Chain A
Amino acid sequence: MNLITLKNKNAQEVASLLDIKERNSLVEMFSTLGLPHKMTEEYHYFDVKKLLDVEYKTLNYVPKSIEEGDKIEIVDGVVTKAPKGLRVYSEVSENVDMEHFDALYYLGHLLSPRVIKIEVDGDTHVEILHKYTQSDALIHYRVEISNQANRHVTMYENFETEEIKNTLVLYGYDMNIAQDSTLRMVRLQTMSGNAYSMVSSHKITVAKNASVVLKNFDFGGDQALQVLKVELGEHAHVDAGHLLYLNDDSKRGTASQIIHRGEHSTSKQVAKNILDGQARGIFDALIRVEKTAKFTKAEQNSKSILLHKKAYMASKPQLEIYIDELEASHGATTGQLDEKQLFYLQSRGISHLEARKILVIAFANTLIETVKDTRHQERIKNAFEEVFYASNKG
């Protein structure tokens, strides 16, 4: 399959090319938004054409019997393992946002009408491991997560590959965070060596008095874009932290929309970006405050460090506000490591490479240390150090 064939096609043509006989409203949404290209705002800094204009191998998504395991394992888009007591199953989804801004959100739903549903009961920790084993493949799947009211869930999302190359992964979550509940999602993704590229397109709905905490740790190379839409109800809260450490000629980042719909809703979005080599980081983030969202508090900040003269950061924090009764702030800074600080560390016998690492870690630490579980905090630090040392060999 070559996705570029969907370019500039009307709904009927899209339905025919994808061999879809139902779900007309989704086809309409996809063809109205159109296949993303360079001028599509959220894909402007991301080389999406390079990913779409490729002949990919298509896979068969046959649900397997799910073995018991200590985590949820999704291999090439199919669930293979899940912890006992957790409801994980595959079903045709009716829960699709009909106002999403991302065409690939709809393409994902069109390609994957059956979604992986995860129902989390009680206060718990869940790990989701995504494994990719196929080269030159288009791997597409969608995951729907729901929790219960008044419950607190932490999810750790990790990625693994076998020795693969040139695969494209399209996946994403539709999350419904129930009233008075909390969901924390800690996502760690290290990519390298052209194994796979990814566009993940999510929709998160946060109900009244609920809270979602999203911590993304994206390290290494390759191409990946996280497209995120969050809708906040009354007194709902989102705390989104994005840490990027990129090297080589990677292009990765986040394009997001946080929409305040309910009164007294609050959002905090912090991005810390460290760009090495010829990497390009993306933080294209909009916070929109609707007329219904009086007394909103919204805070958005992006800080970037460029470790190489060819590195580039596209930081675009934006506020779109339709009311007066709110508190909102946003800002973005980009700079280099501080020479005085580097020298101070070196003057105590610490090597230039180690001093750079200490300062970069210090910059990143404020986000890494927001992960409460010290074991996972350590895991993230180790993943960071592994990538940092690989691209900064003495």
Chain B
Amino acid sequence: MLRITGGKVYDPANGIDGVVKDISISDGRIVSAVDGGRVIDASGMIVFPGGVDIHTHVAGAALNFARAMTPENHRQAKAFMHTPERRAGLGGQTPTTFATGYLYAGMGYTTVIEAAVPVLSAKHTHEELRDTPIVDKGCCVLMANNEIVLDLLEAGEVERAKDVVAWLIWAAKGYGVKAVNPGGVTAWKWGKDAKILSEPVVGYSKVTPASIISSLAQIVDQLGLPHPLHLHCNNLGVPGNFATTLETMKVLEGSRAHMAHLQFHSYGGDDWHTMRSEAVKIAEYFNAHPNLTCDAGAILFGNAVTITADGPWQHLLHQLTGKKWGNLDVENETGCGIVPYTYKGSNLVNAVQWAVGLELLLLIDDPWRIFLTTDHPNGACFWRYPEIIHLLMNADVRRERVKTLPAKAQGRTTLADLDREYTLLDIATITSAGPARALGLSNKGHLGVGADADLAIYNEKPDGEFLFRYPRYVIKAGEIVVEEGEIRNMNEGREYVVQPAYDPSIEEYLRPVFQQYYTMSFENYPVELERLERAEVRQLDESR
């Protein structure tokens, strides 16, 4: 039992904006009152619901590939010493699993969603998530280039495709459905891409990126998944791609969808020299369409490692930069590409990218529909979120930073004209309440009675430069996990899994197709539920 007294509470879901109130915790949940137990005096502090990262890459084959590729980064990374309570590890751009848990918790985040999981290597992803302490976890399963699904869409068998999608989510022990460059990764298997939404995908005559997007969004809604289709649009990172993004959002009308790392999809111009921000147009359309949510995918200057299922884009980035290139195509399902990258403030393209992320966060007016991410480790590392929060809360600081950008870049963004400053309540919304709601995690992201007791307590006046970098306390499932900057308790997180309803006879259809195209036994393909520790399975019924 635990009671927190005297802190100013920011709980957007319950309309509480900086009210001094007590919070009582018992058995891992927030309760109306407790009798006895420890009391934390939070006078002079602010109390937030624990952070929820809706889109990050912290586990799995692609990230582990990136770790192996970048030993030179690890040498500069923060080292985590082995102690009786804590495992050793490394921070940096691609933190090791144990360090990932410590770094997220050490920033006040208590739930993370790994955003790109192939079914074929999902066992591996869950092994890594099991070794990621403290935070609660979930996975989005890659579907938009799954050739069994695409073949069914080509044949017009949408009902069967729906059963296959449901079966695959459960096979991967996933929480949501991810679509990456729909059709483009399949085309990449022949060294091609899918750049035009209405053109058939390489190897197909009817299936187009647009038809994949709309079919998957509808299937996800019909299956009643708590989180809508999680979509990485076509033409990521390319000048002029805002047109593709607008077209994609039109295709999504009538369905729910989450637009991942929107910053990378909001560029104008015809080439790298004329690239400009089109955040205004994207935000305008987005604001008028409440069926959509998004995350920022903001970038910060400095070192990053780009990791994405978008293989063709990574080949282009490798050719542009001459940096190392990793590529891993996954049979029948997806692929991934890895290129280490440094964002420079003096570079025109990077300067525009930096501005676009902030512009979107400021121009999209409903904080319940845009969430703080950097598409870790693509735009910047997750542990740099406090730097973005600082920029969002201070218009003057932003303007000073804009002045340091190349003169050409300054004219290609409206960032200096934006006066909006985020309030603490807005910050609580984009880091916790909003993403929790978009994920359909009703016990997360708020501090009402019955919620999971995940919260972060910060000094109202920061010690250092950034308000949210060093919480005084972090409480996860009712346990104090961080106290005075130290990991105090190795609370193990849960994994959220959904089990959508499907016709069990779909296995009779899948088995022969699988045996023909894959290289392992059908029985070895699904992730065994026992492989997950502390899985929390949500069964979805037929009420579609």
Do A and B bind?
Answer: no
Interface residues of B (CB under 8 A from A): none
Interface residues in chain A, defined as those with a beta carbon under 8 Å from any beta carbon in chain B? none
